[in-house]
Amino acid sequence: MRFPLLLTLQALWASVCQTMQHYPAAWGHYDVCKSQVYTDEGLTWDYMACQPEAMDMTKYLKVTVDPPNITCGDPPETYCALENPYMCNNECDAQNEDLAHPPELMFDFEGRNPTTFWQSSSWKKYPRALLVNITLSWKKTIELTDDIVVTFESGRPEQMVLEKSLDYGKTWQPYQFYATDCLDAFTMEHKTVQDLTQHTLLDIICTEEYSRGYVWKNAKTVRFEIKDRFALFAGPHLHNMASLYGQLDTTKNLRDFFTITDLRVRLLRPATGATMVDENNLSRYFYAISDIKVQGRCKCNLHANSCVFDKEKLNCECEHNTTGPDCGRCKRNYQGRTWSAGSYLPIPKGTANTCIPSNIGPVIRPNVSSLGVANRNQARVCDNELLRCQNGGVCLNNLRCQCTPAYTGLLCEKPRCESELGSCGGPNSGQAALSSTSLPTLLLLGWMLLRGASY
Ligand SMILES: *[C@@H]1O[C@H](CO)[C@@H](O)[C@H](O)[C@H]1NC(C)=O
Ligand SMILES: *[C@@H]1O[C@H](CO)[C@@H](O)[C@H](O)[C@H]1NC(C)=O
Ligand SMILES: *[C@@H]1O[C@H](CO)[C@@H](O)[C@H](O)[C@H]1NC(C)=O
Ligand SMILES: *[C@@H]1O[C@H](CO)[C@@H](O)[C@H](O)[C@H]1NC(C)=O
Ligand SMILES: *[C@@H]1O[C@H](CO)[C@@H](O)[C@H](O)[C@H]1NC(C)=O
Ligand SMILES: [Ca+2]
């Protein structure tokens, strides 16, 4: 009996070491929801906070343009160049594929020449405002991770608002105002993202930065600056994401600020390139957009590391026994405590806050014969007698200890390191800490296996 036992322990040891070596790759990315701490009959998982990768969100949206017939080409129209009213050779015809400019062309693969773009009909009803709403809907809560960038092929609008919704389009809040003259258009002061501080990060500003300069062909983009806002916490090159994650974790307003279900670009006044509108040639004034960039990730409350597009909709692939489109509740029979989102803290692994089985309450003590069965099939990791979970951990189904956030390890015997590597005492500390603290664990395991074998 002794010899196989030794082998088993050795195998356990090897797999523990292997798992430890896998951690650094995942640090700071929160891309792993769980990892197997050791393999044998007694599998134990270590659960971590996790999130899906950021991706190009324009592949998964539905676009709506309002009013519905504002897209050019029905009936066909001719346009003049903004800079030159005698250059009127641009045609738009919705019936002709080569001359049509439907909304989809804002999201196709760009980089070919000439560019493809959506275009509105022209400002024929001047002086009535030329108003267009472009609404992007995901039917899913997403978290922005990079700047929103709108590229105009017409001049950039003289007035525009970017809005967001957090409730699938029921209510809307402004994200940013854009105008050639903020005071005149919105009675707001002109500001740029550089004027913001950690304390004013959530302020909604009006900026003139992206509305002037229609004459320069390369001044085509209008931005909503996500990264500059992140940088207020994470530093200039976002080198300290830990600090940002820490803030996001503790400040709901901040988290919600970067979270959306829908975006809306409200075009309020096209580029005119002058103080006066040329009423004799209103074919010069229209909106044209070749590209809109939106980078983000599915919001899964740190309970999923992937998100799949199925039936026209993004869905989190929930772990930690959570469910729902955003992993926002506990699965049936796993409502042993109230649901909570995972946490980025402590850096770098975070806390999974898994849902636990409902029937865990007062532990039903297994009788001797059922104990025997358990031992034959699976190693017992903990019980309420000898193999006690330490530091406030709770024993789940005799299979693993559910530790409090500050502790980890098979029996919650290891304090979690406060920050990356450093405070654990150098780069090899993972292993060093393991060899010193896990000796009792291994002894307990040995005892457990022996006990199992003797039945
Ligand atoms: C655009 O959306 C806003 C609300 O975000 C609404 O008040 C307005 O009437 C809409 N305009 C058009 C042209 O649909
Ligand atoms: C759009 O439709 C409305 C009502 O259906 C109509 O009054 C309007 O003239 C149309 N506009 C264009 C540009 O065709
Ligand atoms: C105005 O537009 C028409 C076509 O709509 C064009 O023939 C004309 O040359 C343009 N320019 C002026 C200054 O009228
Ligand atoms: C969730 O439940 C399944 C069984 O339905 C179990 O195998 C798994 O370990 C549980 N995960 C957590 C995090 O409790
Ligand atoms: C022990 O459990 C088994 C099945 O789990 C049951 O049939 C048996 O009656 C139990 N024995 C006692 C003494 O409770
Ligand atoms: Ca395009």
Task: Please tell me the residue having the least CA distance from ligand 4 atom 2.
Answer: 321
Q: Which pLDDT score is estimated for 159? A: 96
Is the confidence at residue 297, as pLDDT, over 50? Answer: yes
Number of H helices, E strands in the chain: 8, 24
The Å distance, Cα 260 to ligand 5 centre, comes to 54
Kindly report, residue by residue over 303-315, the tens digit of the pLDDT. Answer: 999 999 999 999 9
pTM above 0.75, yes or no: no
Integer CA distances (angstroms), 301 to 247, 253, 255, 421, in order: 15, 15, 11, 26
Is the confidence at residue 360, as pLDDT, over 70? Answer: no
* Confidence at 12, pLDDT banded by 50, 70, 90: very low
Q: Which pLDDT score is estimated for 123? A: 96
Contacts 24+ apart (CB under 8 A), 330-337: 330/355, 331/355, 333/357, 333/358, 333/359, 334/358, 336/360, 336/361
Beta strand pairing status for 148-152 and 132-144?
unpaired
CA distance 383 to 381: 7
* Confidence at 44, pLDDT banded by 50, 70, 90: confident
Is the confidence at residue 16, as pLDDT, over 50? Answer: no
Question: Counting ligands in written order, which one lies closest to the CA of residue 67?
Answer: 1
Q: Which pLDDT score is estimated for 386? A: 58
* pLDDT, greater one: 388 or 358: 358
The Å distance, Cα 75 to ligand 3 centre, comes to 18
**Mean pLDDT in residue range 97-122:** 91
Task: Please tell me the residue having the least CA distance from ligand 1 atom 14.
Answer: 66
Q: Which pLDDT score is estimated for 443? A: 42
**Mean pLDDT in residue range 43-64:** 94
**Nearest one of 48, 313, 106, 340 to 222, comparing CA atoms:** 106
Question: Counting ligands in written order, which one lies closest to the CA of residue 110?
Answer: 6
CB atoms within 10 A of CB 205: 19
Is the confidence at residue 450, as pLDDT, over 70? Answer: no
Q: Which pLDDT score is estimated for 427? A: 37
Pocket test for ligand 4, best of 35, 37, 46, 321 (most atoms within 8 A of CB): 321
Kindly report, residue by residue over 313-350, the tens digit of the pLDDT. Answer: 999 999 999 999 999 999 999 988 889 999 998 888 89
Q: Which pLDDT score is estimated for 426? A: 38
Rg (CA), the chain: 29
Q: What are the structure tokens assigned to 3, written together? A: 């010899």
Is the confidence at residue 56, as pLDDT, over 70? Answer: yes
CA distance 448 to 352: 28
Pocket test for ligand 3, best of 72, 88, 122 (most atoms within 8 A of CB): 88
Atom of ligand 2 nearest to the CA of 67: 1
* pLDDT, greater one: 281 or 401: 281
**Mean pLDDT in residue range 43-51:** 90
Is the confidence at residue 126, as pLDDT, over 70? Answer: yes
* pLDDT, greater one: 198 or 3: 198
The Å distance, Cα 321 to ligand 4 centre, comes to 6
**Mean pLDDT in residue range 1-18:** 43
* pLDDT, greater one: 403 or 113: 403
Integer CA distances (angstroms), 366 to 5, 369, 392, 445, in order: 25, 8, 22, 20
Question: Counting ligands in written order, which one lies closest to the CA of residue 268?
Answer: 1
Integer CA distances (angstroms), 135 to 5, 56, 65, 128, 162, in order: 64, 17, 6, 22, 10
Is the confidence at residue 43, as pLDDT, over 80? Answer: no
Is the confidence at residue 231, as pLDDT, over 80? Answer: yes
Q: Which pLDDT score is estimated for 417? A: 65
Task: Please tell me the residue having the least CA distance from ligand 3 atom 13.
Answer: 85
The Å distance, Cα 366 to ligand 5 centre, comes to 8
Question: Counting ligands in written order, which one lies closest to the CA of residue 373?
Answer: 5
**Mean pLDDT in residue range 418-446:** 39
Measured torsion, CA atoms of residues 304, 309, 315, 317, in degrees rounded to the nearest 10: -30
Q: Sign of torsion, CA 53 54 55 58?
A: positive
Pocket of ligand 1 (CB under 6 A): 66-67, 131, 133, 163, 172, 264, 266
% of the chain with per-residue pLDDT over 90: 56
User: What's the gap between Cα 446 and its chain centre?
Assistant: 43
* Cβ atoms of residues 49 and 343 within 8 Å: yes
* Confidence at 379, pLDDT banded by 50, 70, 90: low
Measured torsion, CA atoms of residues 370, 373, 374, 377, in degrees rounded to the nearest 10: -170
Assign 300 to helix, strand or coil. coil
Is the confidence at residue 136, as pLDDT, over 50? Answer: yes
* Cβ atoms of residues 175 and 224 within 8 Å: yes
**Mean pLDDT in residue range 28-40:** 81
**Mean pLDDT in residue range 39-53:** 84
* Cβ atoms of residues 265 and 221 within 8 Å: no
State the DSSP H helix or E strand holding residue 63, giving kind and residue range, or none if neither: strand 62-66
Q: Which amino acid is at 412?
A: C
Atom of ligand 5 nearest to the CA of 369: 1
Kindly report, residue by residue over 256-283, the tens digit of the pLDDT. Answer: 999 999 999 999 999 998 788 999 999 9
CA distance 14 to 18: 6
Instruction: For ligand 6, an ion, list residues with CB under 5 A.
Output: 105, 108, 110, 116, 290
The Å distance, Cα 371 to ligand 5 centre, comes to 10
Q: Which pLDDT score is estimated for 445? A: 42
* Confidence at 385, pLDDT banded by 50, 70, 90: low
* Confidence at 393, pLDDT banded by 50, 70, 90: confident
* pLDDT, greater one: 446 or 51: 51
Task: Please tell me the residue having the least CA distance from ligand 1 atom 8.
Answer: 133
Is the confidence at residue 158, as pLDDT, over 90? Answer: yes
* Confidence at 403, pLDDT banded by 50, 70, 90: confident
Length of the chain: 455
Q: Which pLDDT score is estimated for 446? A: 41
Cα–Cα–Cα angle for 103, 107, 108, nearest 5°? 105
- Mean of per-residue pLDDT scores for the chain: 81
Q: Which pLDDT score is estimated for 375? A: 39
* pLDDT, greater one: 289 or 374: 289
